[in-house]
Amino acid sequence: MLMLHCPNCGRDVDETDLHAGGEAHLRREGAEASAEAFEDYLFMRKNPKGVHFERWHHTFGCGKWFHAARDTATLEVFGTYSAQTSEPPKEIIDRIAEKRPNWSWESDT
């Protein structure tokens, strides 16, 4: 079973207490945005085989959202962090870069 650390309430929780919220750091355009921009925001997903940044909801717990960095090919969890950000914190990026030399945040975005 997948276990994640909720940075909001500080608990290590099983996936059964969580709800997956899909890709994190999506950019929502304004009302004047093009159809393509809305398509990107609503439907287009990186869906990588590898490093994935994603949203999780601590449904049966503190009820708050947080973000996780995880490898979808190995299920390794690199860390979790607050959802109040538009990009992962440096320590998470550094930790991933150390374990996945071919990966970089710049090429991911």
Mask for 57-96, x = binds other proteins (CB under 8 A): -------------x-xxxx---------------------
**Beta strand pairing call for 51-57 and 65-71:** antiparallel
Query: CA-to-CA distance for 34 and 98, rounded, in angstroms?
Result: 38
Enumerate residues 25-64 that contact other proteins by CB under 8 A. Answer: 35-36, 38-39, 42-49, 52, 54
Positive or negative, the CA dihedral 64, 56, 45, 97 is positive
What is the closest distance, in whole angstroms, from the C-beta atom of residue 70 to other proteins in the complex?
A: 8
The torsion angles phi and psi of 23, rounded to 5 degrees, stand at -55, 140
Binding site for other proteins (CB under 8 A): 1-2, 14-16, 19-20, 22-23, 35-36, 38-39, 42-49, 52, 54, 70, 72-75
